[in-house]
Structure 1
Amino acid sequence: MDTEKIGITTNYITLGQFLKLANVVESGGMVKLFLADYEVFINDEQDQRRGRKLYPGDQINIPDVGLFEVCAEEAM
């Protein structure tokens, strides 16, 4: 499975914001429901906190959805 790179222009992004930016969910209101139904692994550790801070270099694996990596916008 190919890793999709998601660029951010800030120091970090929350998991909820990331899910919207990566087009995994359509709106912020859907984040809580999505996290209740799907396992999310950040750097190979399961984490369902929508406020979890993600930094460039973090890898997000959502089984049956995709594999993503947070990148600094300049690095893209």
Structure 2
Amino acid sequence: MQTIDFELDREYVELKQLLKLAGISDSGGAAKVLIGDGAVRVDGEVELRKACKIRSGQLVSVGDVEIRVLGGAG
């Protein structure tokens, strides 16, 4: 399992943006496909909303990669 610590510089980031910024997907379009296919989990639950607001303290997982969201203004 690979873990990525993502430092949030605002109150939240949309899920599709997070996947792109963390390097999980090459583009927003690729991120939307991953999410739409049910391949993305937020705090252990499948998340199908592409614009879901991800905040500090949440854990996003895709395959064998976990993204820990840290920090955040707000």
TM-score of the pair, normalised by structure 1: 0.81
Structure 1 residue ranges (4+ consecutive) displaced by more than 4 angstroms after TM superposition: none
Structure 1: gaps of 5 or more residues:
none
Does residue 12 (structure 1) correspond to residue 8 (structure 2)? The answer is no
Structure 2: gaps of 5 or more residues:
none
**What's the RMSD between the two structures over aligned residues?**
1.9
Aligned length: 73
Identity of aligned residues (%): 29
Q: Secondary structure at the match of 1:48?
A: coil
TM-score of the pair, normalised by structure 2: 0.83
Greater share of residues in helix: 1
Deviations 1:15-38 (A, max 9, x none): 011011111111112222222345
